[in-house]
Amino acid sequence: MINLHWKMFVVLFTFIAFIACEEDSPRVTPELEVSVTELSFSNEGQQKAFKITSNVDWILECTESWCTVTPLSGSSGVEPVKVTAEANSTTDQRTAQLIITAGDLTETITISQDKNNLLVLEENEFTLTREAQELTIAFTRSDEVEITINNSWISLKELKSEIQDSKVFVIDANLAFLTRKGTITFTMGDIVETATIYQNGDDITIPADQTGVESTAIELAAKMIAGWNVGNSLEVPGGETNWNNPKVTKDVIDAVKAAGFNAVRIPCAWDGYIIDRETFEIDPAWLIRVKEVVDYCIDNDMYAIINTHWDGGWLENNPTYDKQEEVNEQLYAIWQQVGIYFRIYDEHLLFAGTNEVHVENVYTKPTNENIEVQQSFNQTFVNAVRSTGGKNAYRNLIVQTYNTNIGWGVELHNMPTDEVDGRLFVEVHYYDPYDFTLNNGDGLKTLWGEGYDNSYWGQEDYVQSTFASMKEEFYDKGIPIILGEYGAMYRSNLTGNELILHNESRNYFLKTVTGEAKASGMVPFIWDNGGDDFGLFNRYTAEQVNSGAIQAIIEGATN
């Protein structure tokens, strides 16, 4: 009994002593410290880190799902925590809180993320009827937007301030027959969006009419005997008389007809006569003037060709990708207007799309880029004329090889597609050999041909083989050829027997080239610039100034 009581006493004493010891131990006071109170994230999304310092266990909670935290809990000590924010695809700045709890302590870190910089038009391109109207353009933005209207026929009616905006614009009626193009630019910081507006003009297409344009290109070529160029006149930038020729008169055209020519090539400028750069509208007075010269020819029962000549080089010198769209837009507008203005004319009027298209001051073999772009000009020309309907649906059209070069034409030229069969010519020029035809410096030649001087390249056999290659490549496949320019300088500085021999040799050259051209399916058009070197007719008096050359050309064409 005594032993049992003793044991119970010992146990009770031990328990009381333990409790006493517990009450004497000091209690741990929680501590919590975070290294940041704010975290800012860009809208692209990114990861950042901070540190939690605590002497007790802690837990962490994020109030938004777009940010994730690792780890979500920890123990006493110093521990790094990583916070990852997803990309913000909204147009709102967003915030979240990280709540860290350790014992009875709480710390909060505020997280912010930039809004997404957004500017999106619901539509970027609009095609409108010609009537006056209102146009609503809706877009989403994340900030203030600056609106720039780039055309006088468009104005802003109202503005709204919501993130999802609808801007209302007033569009004036289009009183012209050409489709016009306008743009509105929306700018927000470094973000730019553009709305492009096409507004139709008056009806430009009339029903196709084959009356008076029944001949195919092959048939029409057979009707043209010999052609003459009224050069350095209507193609002169800034004015018809700016290159020392008088205005073309009916008397001159009558004299050309009387000499035996029945076709006239009228090189034309258009760019310098554009009065509206937005629509490329041509001055009506200039169209009237070109028509006057065309009518001089038509009234004489002659065939006439109008083209787009050098024209300041805006087209001719730019067969490059960076200029392709810009040039084609203007070229289409020009030929649509010219086509509409002349579409009542019968087959005596032909259109030639371009002239000697080549990279400026570069006369080496064209690159694939040069060929592709130059031939796109040909296609644009055909499309524009055909789009106007009437007799233009069947009119014979003339397209050019690169730089109107024969060799590159045979090797590289592809004809454009056309909606009507057999109504296309191809055009080349011929000024070989250069030393005899054009060179006015070192190495020039004053004589050419058998019996005169055949010691250098480009003689009769060269003419024959060169023209034969064109015949095989084009005429024999149903595509007749316009020899749009050819000739040789008259060396008026020579005297005595040298001048006599030169004149004879030059006439022989003209007769030979003309005859070989005709034999190869070409319609030859001699170049006449009205000057001492290439002139055949006095532009003031209409008199022949070189009857021997004229006779040689007509003999070559008719024999």
Could you list the active site residues? 356, 485
Task: Report which secondary-structure segment, H or E, holds 96.
Answer: strand 94-102
Contact by Cβ (8 Å): 294, 335: no
DSSP secondary-structure letter at 546?
-
Name residues whose C-beta falls within 8 Å of residue 325's C-beta, 6 or more positions apart in sequence: none
Token pair 């190495």 is found at 443
Find, among 334, 324, 237, the residue nearest to 279 by Cα: 334
CA 239 vs. chain centroid, Å, equals: 27
Q: Which residues share a beta bridge with 110?
A: 38, 97
Find, among 464, 378, 373, the residue nearest to 415 by Cα: 378
CA 48 vs. chain centroid, Å, equals: 48
* Angle, alpha carbons 296-298-302 (nearest 5°): 105
Q: How many CB atoms lie within 10 A of CB 220?
A: 21
**Alpha carbon of 210 to those of 105, 206, 214, 216, 386: distances in Å?**
96, 12, 6, 11, 13
Contact by Cβ (8 Å): 179, 200: yes
* AA identity, residue 139: F
Token pair 């030859």 is found at 524
SS3 199: strand
- Please state, in angstroms and rounded to a whole number, the distance separating the CA atoms of residues 373 and 282: 24
* AA identity, residue 483: L
Token pair 């009237």 is found at 288
Tokens of 279: 């629509």
* Angle, alpha carbons 194-157-135 (nearest 5°): 55
Q: Is the dihedral of CA 433, 436, 439, 443 positive or negative?
A: positive
- Please state, in angstroms and rounded to a whole number, the distance separating the CA atoms of residues 452 and 457: 14
DSSP state letters, 112-164: EEPPP--EEES-SEEEE-SS-EEEEEEEEESS--EEEE-STTEEEEE---SSE
What are the b/e assignments for 511-539, b being 16+ CB within 10 Å? bbbbbbbbebbbbbbbbbbbbeebbbbeb
DSSP state letters, 467-527: HHHHHHHTGGGT--EEEEEE-----TT--HHHHHHHHHHHHHHHHHHHHHHHHTTEEEEE-
The size of the chain, in residues, is 559
Tokens of 414: 């592809």
- Please state, in angstroms and rounded to a whole number, the distance separating the CA atoms of residues 344 and 213: 10
